Structure formats: structure tokens, C-alpha cells
Amino acid sequence: MSLLVGVLSLVLSWDRLGQVLYAVCAGLAVVVAVWTVRLLVRHAWYTHRLSCFSKPPVDSWLKGHLGKMKSTEEGLLEVDELVKTFKHSCSWFIGPFYHLVRVFHPDYVKPLLMAHANITVKDELIYDHLRPWLGDLLISNGEVWSRKRRLLTPAFHFDILKNYVNMFNTSTNTMHDKWRRLVADGTTTIEMFDHVTLMTLDSLLKCAFSYNSNCQESTSEYVSAIVQLSDLIIDRRQNLLHHWDWIYWKTKQGKQFKEALSVVHRFTRDVVQRRRALISQQRETETKAPRRKKDFVDIILLSKDEDGHGLTDEEIQAEANTFMFAGHDTTASAICWTLYNLARHPDYQEKCRQEVTDLMEGRDGQNIDWDDLANLTFTTMCIRESLRLHSPVQAVTRKYTQDVALPGNRTVPQGTICLVSIYGTHHNPTVWTNPYDFEPQRFDPTNTDRSSHAFIPFSGPRNCIGQKFALAELRVVVALTLLRFRLAPGENPELGSRSGGIRRLPQLVLRAEGGLWLQLEPLPTPTMDTPQAK
């Protein structure tokens, strides 16, 4: 014991402790110096390789464009200026950490979105912050992405989508019943996002999970958590220190993120577990009763690839979370902005209404059928023009494992983050005449002159797997809404004329600051006994 005490005394003496601390500090200083040198060398290398792209002015060679990406109305206006100035692309860097190429012209977008999945990876600037929430479907790459895509594609077959149309009708009817009650009580101006987001969530749960949530008639903790997660992710992007997990999870925002995340994951987990139990029960009784048609969650639970392997429990949870978010929030944004654009253009609104009225003439009910969707030609043109003008998602990003050639002898070096600006491409005056005007005629089916990548609301070939689902729901909701209500621009009743008009809010999906308010006027319900106006 005395020997041990003596050794400890020697080691812990002030002289020895000082030597240990000196060695530790010297080691840390060397590590920091090496890391800094490597970072600056990498920064210089990317700066040289990206010199073939024009670059907006910067205040500092080191900070670059740090702080200049804004998720506000002003940020979108700055993108407009970038597009007007640089026409097709520019380089951009955020400190010495992130080097980007921003593209906003179809000729430059196409090579990036058409690149083979084997060389395409999701970047850490945008997608890593989504990983705790959405797992790997939205962020998977190469063969992993291809395998999951093959497993999930059957969930969006036309035969399954046809069955969903009835549920779109049902959820829309519930929302419209709420609107009629509000109007009857004297509330004629309604904030669209509050109502439509609940409606699309209700619809998604019925379609994909065969789950009646009644969320339109009660407060939804899940929707509140989704909005909070979206806000927190945008805030995290703006703070470079928060890009490191070991810092972020110790902050107040990181703890708020985890709390909201637990709400979202618990909700999705409960829905999936409920479906597991039902599938098990149906297996026991399938000889006694006919099986119902599979929905999305059935497919992710039961599908197997060519090797006989299905999705793991972790993958199933990730796919459910991804589809829950992407399947209702983006669609809600698209519906809200479509109704807003039609409210601002009463002539187009009336033309759409007449198209729907003619379609429904002589019917006993007011439901939109699957076969009706192809006959909503002008309404679909208006929806597509709204998707151009107010795309739910403003940009997508990619990285590549090898150099990618672009027009004009420009090359995107391996490892560079490519930001494909959907907003910039859709508002590029070299691509679209009067790009800020709402002109549905651009999408007349006879118009075949447009570049294949001029209109990319679903981000190209590796596009949103649920786009057929979203477009079908859009047409049903818009058609039924115009059949039953006349829309006009409204004002936030708390602000009135002080609101200063609509200010766009580009978060994970495009929203509006202070909400998107429309004035509703209920229309007489057509019946078989009431002649339809021609």
C-alpha cells in the first residue's frame, strides 16, 4: 500500500501534473493545426476547381456567403437576383466548410438530376439534419436507394391509387363541412394551412395506413410537432456550430428537437404496430373472409426483394416517417398555394369551376371518381402552373462520387454540393416568359416545346415516388373546393391591412408568414333536379 501511495504521489506531483497537461495541450494544438491546414488546403483546392463558375461577391475570402442563404421572402428575392445576374449557375461557399454549385437552368439541371444513382449521394449540409427524423429513404444512395425504391413502387400502382380517390373525397368532405360551420357562425376568412394540413394528414392516414384518426376534428399533437421540427431544422442550417451533433444535442434547440421527434416517432410507431396486429389477425381469418386490398403500410411490412429479403424494422419505421411527412405536408402546401392563386385570378377560378360543374352534371352525388381526373384538363393546368410558381420544395441538393460535366466546359468536381434550385429554375426569365405571372396556358397539353427539366416540382428522374398520389389528391381537393366555394384573397383578422400582403416562407415546404388567408363564399349545392349553368 505504501508503495502505491508513493507512486501516486510521484505521478500526481505538481511537476508531473504540469508535464502531463503540457503534453496534452501540445497534442491538442498539433491536432487542431493539422485539421486547420487540411481545411484551408481543401478550401483552396475547391476554390480553384470552381473558378469556372461565376461567383457572387463575398465580404471575406474565408467566410464567403455565410449567412446569405435566408429562409424568408427576402431570401427568395435574392435568388431572383442571382438568376437574373448569372442566368444558369454560380458557385457559392459557406466558410471553408461547404462548397456549392447552384444551378437554375434546365440545361444545367438535367446532367445533375440524370446522373446515375451509383454516383449520386445525398449531402451532409441538408440531408444529415433530416436523418434523425426521416431515416435513410430520403437520404439513401446507389443500390440501397434502388432496392428500397423497387420494394415501395407497388404501393403507388394505379390499381391502388384508384382506391385512394374515395378517401380523398371523404377527407375533403370533412374539411368542407368544417368550413360551412365556420361560415355559418360568421367566420368567412380562414387560414388555409391549418385546415388543409389536417385534411391531408387525415387522408394519408386513411389511404396509406387504413387508420381513421379523426385529426380534423381534434387537436393534432403530431402536426404541431411536424411544424416545430421543420422550424428547428431551418434554424440549425443557419448556425454552423449546430452542424456538429455533439454540440447541437446539448443546446436548447437540440433538446426541443428530440422532444418533438419523440412525438412524431411515437405516432408513426403506433400506427405501424396497429397495422402489424391487423395483418396478423387477417392471416388467421383470411380463409373465412375476403382480404381487403393492400395499402402502403401493408406493402412495406410484407414486400420482399428478389433475394427474399424485406425491410428491417428500422427501415420500416424510416419509410413510414418519410411517407407521413412527404405525403401530407408537401401536398398541403401545393393545395394551399393552388387555391391562393385561383383566388387571385377569379377568371381562371370560374373556368375551373365550370369544368368541374360540367363534369358533375346529372350525377346524384358530388364525389370525384378516378376516371374524372383525366377530364379535369384546365384545372390540372392551373395546378401545374401553381406548382411552378409556388413549388412546395424550393431546392434539392446532391453530391457526386466523380466529376460531372456541365455545359460551357464547366465541371462540378467530385464532392462538391450541387444545389438544384427548383425555385430559380421555375422563375428563370431565360426559360419562362413572364415568370412571376400565373399563366396556366403554359401547361396546355398541346405545348410540347418546353425543356424536360424546365418544370421539376418533383425533382426529376429520382423524383418523389408519391407524385401520382399527390397529383391525384390535388385534383380531387381543388375540384371539390371550387364546386362548393367561391374563393377570394383574405387578410389575417389580427393584422388586417397591416399584413402588407403575402410573404412567402420557404421552410422544408413553402408556407406563408402569418398564414395564408382566403375568404370563402359557399355556393349552392348542385343536384340532379337543378339545371347546370352552361
From residue 479, give the alpha-carbon distance in Å to each of 296, 334, 373, 475. Answer: 25, 14, 9, 6
Q: How far apart are CA 300 and CA 268, in angstroms?
A: 13
- Rounded-to-integer distance, Cα 135 and Cα 148, Å: 12
Dist CA 343 CA 357 (whole Å): 18
CA separation for the pair 125, 493 (Å, rounded): 38
Residue (of 437, 441, 425) closest to 381 by Cα position:
441
Tell me how far the alpha carbon of residue 337 is from its chain's centroid: 14
* Burial category of 146 from C-beta neighbours within 10 Å (exposed 0-12, middle 13-18, buried 19 and up): middle
Instruction: Quote the strand ranges of 278-406, DSSP E.
Output: 395-400, 404-406
CA dist., res. 521 & res. 281, Å (int): 47
Read out DSSP for 471-493? HHHHHHHHHHHHHHEEEEE---T
Residues contacting residue 86 through CB under 8 Å, at least 6 positions apart: 54, 56
Residue type present at position 209: F
Cα(first)–Cα(last) distance of the chain, in Å?
A: 104
Phi/psi class of residue 93: alpha, beta or left (left: φ > 0; alpha: ψ in -120 to 50)? beta
Is 215 annotated to bind ligand?
no
Name the amino acid, one letter, at 340. Y
* DSSP bridge pairs for 91: 101
Task: Please name which of 286, 294, 332 lies closest in space to residue 207, comparing C-alpha atoms.
Answer: 294
Which of 382, 357, 359, 362 lies closest to 372 in space, CA to CA?
Answer: 359
Q: How far apart are CA 526 and CA 522, in angstroms?
A: 12
3-state secondary structure of 102: strand
Contact present, 420 and 452 (Cβ < 8 Å) = no
From CA 334, how far away is CA 384, in angstroms rounded? 10
Cβ–Cβ < 8 Å for 173, 161:
no
Report residue 496 as a C-alpha cell: 388586417
Cα–Cα–Cα angle for 356, 357, 358, rounded to 5 degrees: 90
472: its cell numbers: 391525384
Annotated binding site for heme: 464
Annotated binding site: 464
